[in-house]
Structure 1
């Protein structure tokens, strides 16, 4: 058995703890693959982060395959990032083959998270 997405609720909880402790300059950054977005832990973690304005950036490394299942068989959404809206957070896409764009987008997402707006990055 391979646990998938189990770190996502932990990241949301860490973000909630940062709010509880009034750690305004901190944020959690959680990495996972696109297959994790079909797991219950993904939905639970993003829902809690959205409801409680947890300072978390959820970073989906999408290679368009979850083990042997293509992305279009996992979700009817046009993108993984689009799913952020359902949880009350911004979602955005960035070209993972452009490391400078990834860094810039992630820094912006972390800034938003520190201001109480969790972000889903694809």
Structure 2
């Protein structure tokens, strides 16, 4: 087992499933650290208001994910689309995570059990 504090997650536009091998201090077995979901934007908003609201929700979503990976030394992010790249860019612009080693992957929708398996496989 690694003595490093590792984290992995699956993310799309609305949901992130986070797996870590640590709590705030101690390294242990990999487990689900939490699931973060964001609101779906209401299409009735005017375009500019919708874009602004969506950006605020996205930042809040990324902040909540960041709270679950605090103290991680390495992070594996997977998922469909470009959400993993957007999260990586957000984290690298955040002082707390500027030295975090981040690797990206691509995968289709996964449940918690499969995310846990994928993260364990990635780090083994």
TM-score (norm 1): 0.37
More strand by share: 2
More helix by share: 1
